Amino acid sequence: MRTPSNDLAARLASGAAIVVVTVVFGALGGWWFTLLVAVVIARTTYELWRLLSRAGYQPSLAVALGTAAAAFIGVRLPNLFIFIPALTLVLLVSLARQLQRAQARTFGDWAVSFAGGFYLGWTGGHLAELIVLPPDGRWWLALTLATLWSADSMAYVFGRLLGRHKLAPAISPGKTWEGYIAGVIASTVAGVILGLFAPFGAPVGAIAGILVGALSPLGDLIESMIKRQAHAKDSGNLIPGHGGLFDRIDSLLWASVVVTYVAVIASGTFQFP
C-alpha cells in the first residue's frame, strides 16, 4: 500500500540518484557526459512521442528520433558538417513515407514529429556541448545547475507563500509572477556566488543567472502545454516520485542553451570548439 511517506522516500531516493549520476558523468566529462545526454534525449523523445499520441496525433517515433539525432549531432559536433545533409535526409525520407499514408492529418502528424524531435535534439545538444566549452566545461555545467536549481526552488517557495498573480494560467496555473521574479533573483545570486570561485568571474555568473532565471521557465511551460493537450499529469513514470525524464529536464534544456551562448560570448568566440 502506497502512503505519502513512501512517495516522499521514493522521490528523495530518485532525486539523490539523479544528482549522483549527473555529478559522476559531469566529472568524467567529454564523451561520457555526451553519451549520458544522448541517452536521456532519446528517452525524452520517446516520452514526447507518447504524449503527442495521447493528444490525438499519430506521430512517427522514427522521424522524431532521426530529427533529434541530426540536431543533437549538429550542435555537439559542428565541425563534422553533417547536420544539414543528415537533416535533409530525414526530411526527404520522412516526407516520402508520409505521402504514402495520404491521410487527412498526415502533414500535421509529420510536423509535430519533426518539430518535437528537433526541439529536443537541438536543446539537448547544447547541454552536451556545455561540458567541453573553455576554459573548463565542468564550471559551465555547475553554473547551469546551480542557477537553475536556485531559480526553481525559490520560484516554488515564494510562489506558494506570496503568489497572487498568475504567470500563465491557461498552461500552468501554479506558476505566478511573484515566484518568477524570486526565481530570477535567486538564480542571479547563485551565479554571482559561483562566479567568485570560477574562472569566468562574478559578472559573467550574474549575466548567466539573470538569463537562466528569466528564460528557463519556457521549457517548463512548453512541456506543460503539451501535457495539457495530452491530458497527462506527467510525461511518464520512469523516475519514482518525479514522473518522466521530460518532467525533470524541461527547464534544464533551455538553461543549457542560455549558458552555452553566455560561455561562447564570454570566451570571445562565436564558434564552438
Amino acid 102: pLDDT: 64
Amino acid 236: pLDDT: 85
Amino acid 72: pLDDT: 95
Cell numbers for 16: 539523490
Q: What is the DSSP string of 73-142?
A: HHHH-GGG--HHHHHHHHHHHHHHHHHHH--TTHHHHHHHHHHHHHHHHHHHHHHHHHTT-SS-HHHHHH
- Cα separations in angstroms, 10 against 7, 16, 17, 152: 5, 10, 11, 20
The pTM assigned to this predicted structure is 0.88
Q: Print pLDDT tens along the chain (273 aa).
A: 445 455 556 656 766 777 788 888 888 878 999 999 999 999 999 999 999 999 999 999 999 999 999 999 999 987 766 777 878 888 888 877 777 766 656 788 888 999 999 999 999 999 999 999 988 899 999 999 999 999 998 998 998 898 888 998 888 888 999 999 999 999 999 999 999 999 999 999 999 999 999 999 999 999 999 999 999 988 988 877 678 899 889 999 999 999 999 999 998 754 444
For 266, other C-beta atoms within 10 Å of its C-beta total: 21
Parse the chain into domains and list their residue ranges: 30-130, 136-273
Amino acid 273: pLDDT: 43
Cell numbers for 195: 562566479
Amino acid 207: pLDDT: 97
Amino acid 109: pLDDT: 87
